[in-house]
Structures are given as structure tokens and as C-alpha cells.
Amino acid sequence: MEVLQDKIKLIKEKGHEICLHSYAHKRPLQLSLDEFRKDTVEGMNSFKKFTGLEVDGYRAPVLV
């Protein structure tokens, strides 16, 4: 796990953006706003807990 953390930090240090792709990988248009918010916040918190870094953006897994 530490190797993965180090790789993610190195990617960030080299100037790349780190974006969230969802926590549960559910289609965002099939979620209520509250479900989407919960999924996104859970993913951001999980990523920060694991790496100590903030995500820079979001890309939906599938839009339809």
C-alpha cells in the first residue's frame, strides 16, 4: 500500500491533476442529488485518508 501512496504523491508532485471517478462507481444520473453528494464526499474523504492529498476534480464513470 505504501508503494501506491508514494506513486500517487509522485504523480501529484510532477504537476498532474488527481481526479475522483466516484466511490461506488454508480451512474450519477441515476442517483438523487443527496446520493451523488454522499458518494462524492465519501470518495474524496477516502482518497485524502489514504494519500493525505486532496482531489483536483471529478469525472463521472458513465453519464447515461
Summarised one tens digit per residue, pLDDT across range 7-32 is 999 999 999 999 998 899 888 888 99
Separation CA 41–CA 48 (nearest Å) = 11
Cell of 56: 483536483
What percentage of the chain exceeds 70 in pLDDT? 95
Residue 58 DSSP SS3: strand
Answering whether pTM is above 0.85, one says: no
Separation CA 43–CA 64 (nearest Å) = 20
Output the furthest CA–CA distance in the chain (Å, rounded): 36
Separation CA 16–CA 43 (nearest Å) = 19
